[in-house]
């Protein structure tokens, strides 16, 4: 069976990917600097699957450590989740975001080339579309970002395209995520952000569990049905299934293969609050706040290319996504701590 290096494998999406790969019989090696993750997630994945993970604590900027990992393990493919991901924080720390996200990816690619590993599945983002001209968004839509986080993802995509055009040994899957939510059905692993969450759903769930007093809704004057921002939310387990499907393509076909991973449905912030209150039977108090810099009105996917080429389709409904979120949060009010 294949061996995967999962960068950022202790994080939210990475840990769910590790679980799926282990369940499918893969050998899994994880590197994570634990800057926005907890090693407890890996321990729980091992408990859930009854299988072990080779874990290395460190940054992908550390080429010596990466080289040690590639020397010790016969890696077939890298699932690349490591990266900072907060839009707002990227606006206040642009240099750090480019250094960590772009610099880390370059270090990883450099070591992969040295060890002749030419398969990589990259966590990109719908933020590369910026404020879209048309929705739903296809992979052919113009890319234009509104913040350094999105720009760091787009720069990496451009690097992968350049490398692939000049060296036919490489195969890349570029997966443009919409908004990952939910948790594994066991409630044992889920999203556990450091400090105050930057994303809507963990913020809602922390208000519902009593950890935070009130949800701030940033802007109610957008050109949307209820004035609040509309996004495409996708269950994290659907998302990681897309990665496993992408491997089936890149293991036999070189080049860059780009896919949207979303449901194709848009939900407003108020839709999310109402649905969460319904499934959790908890009140989520909120107050309207000014718009945030870098935010846009509406963003949802056209996922038909992933359906056609990968045979992939999101299965979970919004209620199921939020029910799984609540199961994780209510079982783990303090996250992994």
To the query of whether residue 233 is one of the catalytic residues in this protein, the response is no
* 3-state DSSP helix/strand/coil % of the chain, to nearest 5: 40, 20, 40
Q: How far apart are the C-alpha atoms of 30 and 127, rounded to whole Å?
A: 26
Give me the DSSP letters along 6-28: EETTTSHHHHHHHHHHHHTT-EE
CB 161 within 8 A of CB 167: no
Query: What 8-state DSSP symbol labels residue 54?
Result: E
- The residue ranges of DSSP E strands in 88-169, in sequence order, are 119-125
Q: Which residue has the tokens 């350094």?
A: 148
CB 88 within 8 A of CB 18: no
Q: Which helix (H) or strand (E) holds 3?
A: strand 3-7
Question: With the C-alpha atoms ordered 196, 198, 201, 202, is the resulting torsion angle positive or negative?
Answer: negative
Q: Which helix (H) or strand (E) holds 176?
A: strand 171-177
Q: Which residue has the tokens 């874990």?
A: 55
Closest CA to 235 of 103, 324, 138: 324
Q: Say which residues have a Cβ less than 8 Å from residue 63's Cβ, sequence separation at least 6.
A: 107, 110, 111
**Residue of 12, 129, 149, 203 with catalytic role:** 149
Closest CA to 104 of 33, 192, 40: 33
Point out the residues that are catalytic: 149
């Amino acid at each position: 069976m294949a061996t995967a290096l999962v960068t950022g494998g202790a994080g939210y999406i990475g840990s769910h990917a590790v679980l799926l790969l282990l369940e499918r019989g893969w050998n899994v090696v994880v590197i994570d600097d634990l800057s926005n993750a907890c090693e407890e997630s890996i321990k729980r994945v091992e408990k859930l699957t009854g299988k072990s993970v080779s874990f290395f604590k460190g940054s992908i900027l550390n080429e010596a450590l990466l080289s040690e990992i590639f020397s010790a393990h016969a890696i077939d493919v890298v699932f690349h989740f490591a990266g900072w991901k907060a839009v707002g924080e990227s606006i206040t720390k642009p240099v750090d975001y480019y250094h960590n996200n772009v610099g880390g990816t370059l270090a990883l690619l450099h070591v992969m080339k040295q060890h002749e590993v030419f398969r990589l599945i990259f966590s990109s983002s719908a933020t590369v579309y910026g404020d879209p001209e048309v929705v739903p968004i296809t992979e052919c839509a113009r890319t234009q970002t509104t913040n350094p986080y999105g720009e760091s993802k787009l720069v990496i995509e451009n690097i992968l395209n350049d490398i692939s055009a000049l060296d036919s040994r490489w195969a890349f899957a570029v997966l443009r995520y919409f908004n990952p939510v939910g948790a594994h059905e066991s409630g044992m692993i889920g999203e556990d952000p450091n400090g105050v969450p930057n994303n809507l759903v963990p913020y809602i769930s922390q208000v519902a569990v009593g950890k935070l007093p009130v949800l701030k809704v940033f802007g109610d004057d957008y050109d949307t049905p209820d004035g609040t921002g509309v996004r495409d939310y996708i269950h994290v387990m659907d998302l990681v299934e897309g990665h496993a499907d992408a491997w089936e393509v890149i293991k036999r076909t070189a080049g860059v293969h780009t896919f949207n991973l979303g449901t194709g449905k848009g939900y407003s912030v108020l839709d999310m609050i109402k649905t969460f209150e319904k499934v959790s039977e908890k009140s989520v108090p909120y107050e309207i706040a000014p718009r945030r810099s870098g935010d846009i009105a509406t963003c949802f996917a056209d996922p038909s290319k992933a359906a056609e080429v990968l045979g992939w389709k999101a299965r979970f409904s919004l209620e199921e996504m939020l029910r799984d979120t609540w199961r994780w949060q209510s079982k783990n009010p303090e996250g992994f701590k």
